[in-house]
Amino acid sequence: MSNSDLTSILFILLLLVGLAQLLGYVLVKLRQPKVVGEILAGIVLGPALIGRLSFTSGLTDIAKHQENILNFVYWLGLLLLMFLSGAETRHLFGREERREVGWLVVVGTGIPFVLGLVLSPWLIRPELAGLQGNPISLGIILAVGVAVTSVPVLSKIFADLRILHTRFARLVLGVAVLEDIVLWLALAIATAMAGHAVLNPREMSIHLIRTIGFFGLGLTIVPRIVKRINKSRFNIVARNSPVAYALAVLLGYCAVAGALDVSLVFAAFLAGFAVVHKKRRLFAEALDAIGKVSFAFFIPAYFAIVGLKLDLIRGLSLWMMASFIVGSCAVKIISVSLAGRFAGFRGLDLINLAITTNARGGPGIVLASVAFDAGIISAKFYTTLVLAALLTSQVAGAWLDYVLRRGWPLLAPVSTAELAIVSAADTAPAA
């Protein structure tokens, strides 16, 4: 790479990350998710706005010329996001509110997902499909798009509003964690089926067995093996450089997944899930260090490049966007409200739970990115999924802020016995 090429790519990254951080800061001040500002940075620099101006044609040419490097940064940011999300997921598993979480997952997530699958033959149109899409993979993407809930964005919203350790936050994040694990598996199956217009039963069976086996082992047996390796006195790398060891686990998972033809996105998620070791402070500090660098540069760059890929001129269908957002939000909110009723919630509790779990956030954007890069969905459907993720996250953040400013409870008080347990959990220091 010549000096001019290196200067060009550094200049593009400076613009993307700098503007992403600036707009992210502005959106946080406006009590909106930071990710919205980061994606707006890509939209501003992309073909919809600045990219259309004559004096910026050189900038557009540079971006096209350095497309391979930008794609590398894009994928590195995505893998780090999934790695940190997997680590965060492991921390969120707990024993509280099992009954409520069970109802909200089974009914609140199950109904939207099943409806999306069942109705997909009538909902899918040619304009939704990408070059590698087929009815089965496209139907799964549609179902996941309706059912998905964001763990990272909700965690950030709860932290900003200082309600991360409340019963409401534990309940919502517990639901989001469990449903996202199931939905990531469904997305893995969809990507395994991509590109097969006529499905070969034998070939698809082998591919699905590899994908499901990798996912199953990554959630059960492999984390125990990694935990033993973490504690081994022979693990010199973990003792002397926990950050390097954590990144080595990520790269190792991705290398194995690549050899098995399994999506690297899911490998990164499972690597984060496995590397967490609650009793070793070193690993917590390592993940914190990785998170600081990732959220300062690589993840904002990923979301900015997501915005850069959005073509709001030729890749936007207002009819498609309105239909999907209205339909998916209605199904999700009604399903979660029904699940909440079964779980014993009433009134404002149902509204808070339904609007909050409707936030698609990061997972909704990752779903769109993975499906688009796999050729399953079209540019128009990709834009629709990304904008739906942004809008639902904005609504969730704004609604929770409004409820708290009004002094309304996020959840109605429980019985005296239960209240004592919940209060003890809420005031306990974080692990």
pLDDT at 35: 78
pLDDT at 349: 92
- Residue 360 near residue 389, CB atoms below 8 Å: yes
Which CATH architecture describes the domain 3-427? Answer: Up-down Bundle (1.20)
pLDDT at 89: 62
pLDDT tens-digit series, residues 273-282: 888 765 556 6
pLDDT at 252: 92
- Give the integer Cα–Cα distance in Å for 209 and 173: 29
What token pair was written down for 144?
A: 């996941």
- Residue 143 near residue 169, CB atoms below 8 Å: no
pLDDT at 216: 82
CB atoms within 10 A of CB 240: 10
| Extents of the domains making up the chain | 3-427
Q: Please list the ranges in the chain whose pLDDT falls under 70.
A: 1, 47-66, 89-98, 151-153, 155-156, 159, 164-165, 180, 194-204, 207, 277-282, 311, 313-314, 414-431
Q: Which amino acid is at 380?
A: K
- Give the integer Cα–Cα distance in Å for 134 and 140: 10
pLDDT at 250: 93
Counting runs of H as helices and runs of E as strands, what totals does the chain give?
21, 0
pLDDT tens-digit series, residues 24-57: 899 888 877 787 888 888 888 876 556 555 545 5
pLDDT at 37: 85
Q: From the centroid of its chain, how far is CA 188?
A: 14
pLDDT at 425: 41
- Give the integer Cα–Cα distance in Å for 307 and 302: 9
pLDDT at 254: 92
Q: Which of 125, 96, 179, 149 is nearest to 419 (CA)?
A: 96
* pTM over 0.75, yes/no: no
pLDDT at 29: 84
